Amino acid sequence: MTYQVHFDFPGRIVMVGFGSIGQGVLPLILRHIGITSERITVVTADQAGAQEAVDLGVTFVVQPLLRDNYRRVLEPLLGRGDFLVNLSVDVSSIALVKLCQERGALYLDTCIEPWAGGYTDTSLSAGKRTNYALRDAALALRAGQERAPTAVLTHGANPGLVSHFVKQALLNIAAEGGIAVDEPTNRAEWAALARQLGVRVVHIAERDSQVSNVPKRPNQFLNTWSVDGFVSEGQQPAELGWGSHERNFPRDGHRHDFGSGAAIYLSQPGAATRVRTWTPLAGPIHGFLITHSEAVSISDYYTVIENGKVVYRPTAHYAYHPSDAAVLSLHEFAGRNWNLQADKHILMDEIVSGVDELGVLLAGHHGNAYWYGSQLSINEARELAPYNNATSLQVTVSVLSGMIWAMENPNRGVVEPDEMDWRRNLQICAPYLGTVTGAYTQWTPLTDRERLFPEDVDRSDPWQFKNVRV
């Protein structure tokens, strides 16, 4: 089969980390970016994926990156016009962005990582261990580097792809509601459109129904993507962008005394915090409020400020129902007082059925709530790309599209997904996303609630976070 090459890249590509996402994106890079395998080097902490690297002809280096050696390892591999793809855990994103700025290299990651132990470092306050704080520090790298080589922050499926879904969803809601609007061309116009439509809430609503033919065993953590990545973010404080319509500040909520003020955090980890949401195939679900950068960036991007005061901002957060095996694993992990199980395993070949349904639920507007996103089955994923399941493919193709956009726009400095060309990214991703669709629902977080606990709801506005939180 002949695949479209989106960009002929003359430089070298260095991949840091080679877990499920690295292994899944490498064939897509070779398929859609004009580069030979001899110009790709993988630097990783262990032997995972070594045979794939041999099969595809890339250089495979086993060398954990630490504070005291990352420059020595990476500097010989990176020069002007090269590309560093950071898919690691426990390697500081900020350190790697700075290195790329110095070396003249492009950069992309899927989340803003601290050095090992940063997520659980109790010498730092909870507020300093949030994605809000990590994002604030990363964005500070823009100072004096506005025309530096492009460094794309947090561009996987989510954060990343979902920010592009939000823009398409806003245009769909306007068009289907008979509201004539010109397509926004900048941040202020997008925020004005969200305000005009009355969007109060943006859930990143995901239900992974993939199932394996091998049951979970005790002392085992199963997941359909990185166990270490999921565990790390699950132990961070739960975070959400805090909307201007919210009237009931959480008893365990905290504001930040620095940055934009677009988000808050709770005094408990995301893996212990559940929220109500909805997806078309699953219907109403309880998801985990796992911290993600898009919760902060979306609320920040769509903020409207008049006379120095925030007059509009949506509440935004992740609402994640992982695979059933991952839910059992997370329950056991919490019961062990957040001590990770000895056996970690990513489900891939064992999966026999299921769909990863990943999208954005925009609510509070004239149509009540509208979900827009990807419904990708395991069978479709296997037909589309090797070394992937449905969950990983939604991430890996988003990494690919972010890389291509950066190559096409090489001097944008530090960039977040909300600031990128959303149409170009969706164009690249769409062939790998299964069914991309939108659906309206009259469901709200109050649906069927009052008959059981009528005193536990805010009837004046179903989209108060008080009603969403379980």
Q: 343, 221 in Cβ contact below 8 A?
A: yes
Q: CB under 8 Å to 377, separation ≥6 — which residues?
A: 353, 354, 355, 390, 434
Mean per-residue pLDDT, 396-409: 98
Which residues does 436 contact at the CB level (< 8 Å), separation at least 6?
373, 374, 375, 430
Q: What is the pLDDT of residue 117?
A: 86
Higher pLDDT, 126 or 410: 410
**Who contacts 316 (Cβ-Cβ below 8 Å, separation ≥6)?**
201, 202, 203, 204, 240, 241, 243, 294, 295, 296, 298, 299
Give the CATH class of 161-394+423-468.
alpha beta
Write down the pLDDT at residue 451: 72
Q: Please state, rounded to an integer, the average pLDDT across all residues of the chain.
A: 96
- DSSP string covering 33-64: EE--GGGEEEEESSSTTHHHHHHHT-EEEE--
Q: Residues 128-181: pLDDT tens digits?
A: 999 999 999 999 999 988 899 999 999 999 999 999 999 999 999 999 999 999
pLDDT tens for each residue of 377-388: 999 999 999 999
Span 436-464, mean pLDDT?
86
Beta strands at 355-365 and 368-377: parallel, antiparallel or unpaired:
antiparallel
Query: φ, ψ for residue 223 (rounded to 5)?
Result: -155, 165
Give the pLDDT confidence score for residue 222 in this predicted structure: 98
| pLDDT value of position 459 | 82
Residue 1 pLDDT > 80: no
pLDDT (0 to 100) of residue 146: 87
Domain boundaries defined on the chain: 7-152, 161-394+423-468
pLDDT over 90, % of the chain: 94
Give the model confidence (pLDDT) of 83-103 as tens digits: 999 999 999 999 999 999 999
Give the Cβ contact number of residue 219 at 10 Å. 11
pLDDT digits (tens, 9 = 90+) for 100-141: 999 999 999 999 999 998 887 888 888 999 999 999 999 999
Mean pLDDT of 266-291: 98
- Other Cβ atoms within 10 Å of 255 Cβ, number: 12
What pLDDT was estimated at residue 454? Answer: 65
The average pLDDT across 251-272 equals: 97
3-state DSSP assignment of residue 130:
coil
Percent of the chain whose pLDDT exceeds 70: 99
pLDDT of residue 82 exceeding 70, the answer is yes
Residue with tokens 């408990």: 268
- Per DSSP (E only), the strands in 76-210 are 83-86, 106-109, 151-152, 201-208
Superfamily of domain 7-152: NAD(P)-binding Rossmann-like Domain (3.40.50.720)
Of the listed ranges 12-16, 110-114, 115-119, 309-313, the least confidently predicted one is: 115-119
Q: How confident is residue 267, by pLDDT bands cut at 50, 70 and 90?
A: very high
CB 234, CB 369: distance < 8 Å? no
Tell me how far the alpha carbon of residue 206 is from its chain's centroid: 11
The band of 449, judged by pLDDT with boundaries at 50, 70 and 90, is: confident
Please give the model's pTM, rounded to 2 decimal places. Answer: 0.97
Mean local confidence (pLDDT), 29-37: 98
- The pLDDT assigned to 455 comes to 65
Q: Per-residue pLDDT for 456 more than 80? A: no
